[in-house]
Amino acid sequence: MQRICLFPGTFDPVTLGHTDIINRALPLFDRIVVGIGVNSSKSPMFSAEQRMQWFQEIYKDEPKVESVTFEGLTVDYCKTIGAKFILRGIRFVSDFEYEKSIADANRTMDKDIETVFLTGEPKYTSVASTIVRDILKNGGNASPFLPEAVIASLHH
């Protein structure tokens, strides 16, 4: 049986923190599905299609990684794709408390789906999409926080 994992998030935009978690999860799973959550109550800075394209470009030479968009509950989407694992990145203790409460709720809804936490590399702990969006909105240089594919698309 394939070890399929869903890495859900908004990824608005994709940061080096996100790719760090994916890269370190590669040896753990046979397939990593990056699930870009579409939430009608949020108005993202970048379209879901743009965020998917970034992951496709970044991982064009890595067949184990694919990107999709999904709506609804994460555990329901896991069932749709046959994922038994949810991947989440942790930067700080506060992230863990929040993520653990979500993992507990997911486990209550489906005891067969396990959440796996990876801690981010220390050099990426300050990288949050919210901060990067602020930098971009105010005309600053966010490139130290972004993968090359994202930087290239912002200059168009």
Active-site annotation holder among 40, 41, 42, 155: 42
Name, in order, each residue with C-beta under 8 angstroms of 57's C-beta and a sequence gap of 6 or more.
149
Asked if 91 is an active-site residue, the reply is yes
Evaluate if residue 14 carries a pLDDT over 80: yes
- Of the listed ranges 12-21, 29-38, 90-99, 145-154, the least confidently predicted one is 90-99
Active-site annotation holder among 18, 51, 67, 88: 18
Evaluate if residue 29 carries a pLDDT over 80: yes
Active-site annotation holder among 51, 67, 88, 129: 129
User: For 58-106, how does the pLDDT look when each residue is reduced to its tens digit (9 = 90+)?
Assistant: 999 999 999 999 999 999 999 999 999 999 999 888 889 999 999 999 9
**Residues 128, 78, 49: CA angle, nearest 5 degrees:** 50
Nearest 5°: phi and psi at 39? -120, 115
Nearest alpha carbon to residue 154 among 48, 60, 14, 19 = 14
Domain housing 100:
4-154
Average pLDDT over residues 144-149: 95
Asked if 155 is an active-site residue, the reply is no
Question: Which 8-state DSSP code applies to residue 146?
Answer: S
- Alpha-helix runs per DSSP H in the chain: 16-25, 48-58, 74-81, 93-109, 129-137, 148-154
Asked if 129 is an active-site residue, the reply is yes
CA distance 117 to 54: 23
Asked if 100 is an active-site residue, the reply is no
Evaluate if residue 156 carries a pLDDT over 70: no
Count of domains observed in the chain? 1
In contact, 29 and 1? CB cutoff 8 Å: no
CATH number at residue 45: 3.40.50.620
